Amino acid sequence: MKIATWNVNSIRQRETHVARWLERNQPDLLFLQEIKCEAPAFPRLTFEALGYQAEVVGQKSYNGVALLSRIPVTVTHRALPGLPDDDAQARYIEVQAGGLTAIGIYLPNGNSRGDEGFAYKLNWMDRLADRIETLLATDTPLIVLGDFNVCPTDLDYAKGALSPTDALVRPETRARLRRMIWASMTDAIRAVTPEGPVYTFWDYQAAAWERNAGLRIDHALLSPDLAERLIAAAPDRMEREQQQPSDHVPVLVDIA
């Protein structure tokens, strides 16, 4: 089973990029983040022509997540359980597919709106950890993937790419990601490539791509049963070399 995640930074600008990538890689599930549109504006017909059905949790101009699937799925949640009912930020989709539960997330960045924005990020991470622990307690085969907006360690970003006070690397942020991993989830990329830089994001500014001044903020976490079946997990760097690319590249996970 091939499951992928990609922050596309506007699906209407990257529609062709995504279609080409689907044709080339044929994942069973592709979770998208930052689609930046409401559901009616999502270009689902393009992907249906390739054999993919779309489930969309959209929001006008900001955020937004979606799932493109070529296998049957059942959507179980379109918002993160535990958040207030009036939380309008479109950042979460949870489905059952192929005998497992798959969660696609766009975790808050935490650098905007000062202390309030950072507190929102931490609360969101706490609720996500709660959800993971709830599903693990039922022995549910589980994968959680998407743009986490967290560099787990100092090895996961290029020297000088971030300030020590950036929300992506602050101790409170990393502690909450560790809670998810200590719950018995496996960081798929680091399970395959335990050492060295592996980046998934390069800023558009300051020639970050050309200098390889990247970040690893797109992750896939696997429950123990799926971790035992892990074959491969890696970012597709080639996508960053395309014309008008997203600042993120896809991450593809292959599970036996």
Task: Write the pLDDT tens digit of every residue in 212-239.
Answer: 999 999 999 999 999 999 999 999 999 9
Share of the chain above pLDDT 70, in %: 100
In tens, the pLDDT along 133-188 reads 999 999 999 999 999 999 999 999 999 999 999 999 999 999 999 999 999 999 99
Q: Is residue 213 part of a domain?
A: yes
Q: Is residue 141 part of a domain?
A: yes
Q: Is residue 255 part of a domain?
A: no
Report the pLDDT value the prediction gives residue 206, as an integer from 0 to 100: 95
Report the pLDDT value the prediction gives residue 238, as an integer from 0 to 100: 97
Half-sphere exposure of 123 (CA within 13 A, CB side): 11
- For the segment 12-41, the average pLDDT, to the nearest whole number, is 98
Report the pLDDT value the prediction gives residue 186, as an integer from 0 to 100: 98
User: To 5 degrees, how large is the angle CA 250–CA 186–CA 53?
Assistant: 40
Report the pLDDT value the prediction gives residue 44, as an integer from 0 to 100: 98
In tens, the pLDDT along 84-96 reads 999 999 999 999 9
In contact, 160 and 118? CB cutoff 8 Å: no
* Cβ-based burial of 131 (10 A; exposed 0-12, middle 13-18, buried ≥19): buried
A 10 A CB-CB count for 169 gives: 21
Q: Is residue 180 part of a domain?
A: yes
Report the pLDDT value the prediction gives residue 30, as an integer from 0 to 100: 99
H or E stretch at 212? none
Q: What is the dihedral of CA 45, 108, 201, 239, to 10 degrees?
A: 0
Report the pLDDT value the prediction gives residue 109, as an integer from 0 to 100: 98
Q: Is residue 193 part of a domain?
A: yes
Q: What is the pTM of this model?
A: 0.98
189/114 Cα distance (integer angstroms):
31
Domain count of the fold of the chain: 1
Beta-strand (E) ranges in the chain?
A: 2-7, 29-33, 53-57, 65-69, 74-77, 92-97, 100-106, 142-147, 186-187, 201-202, 214-215, 218-222, 230-235, 251-255
Report the pLDDT value the prediction gives residue 225, as an integer from 0 to 100: 97
The per-residue pLDDT of the chain, averaged, comes to 98
Which CATH number characterizes residue 84's domain?
3.60.10.10
Residues spanned by the domain of 202: 2-250
In contact, 223 and 140? CB cutoff 8 Å: yes
List CB contacts of 24: < 8 A, sequence separation 6 or more. Answer: none
Q: Is residue 9 part of a domain?
A: yes
Report the pLDDT value the prediction gives residue 161, as an integer from 0 to 100: 97
In tens, the pLDDT along 91-119 reads 999 999 999 999 999 999 999 999 999 99
Q: Is residue 256 part of a domain?
A: no
Report the pLDDT value the prediction gives residue 137, as an integer from 0 to 100: 98
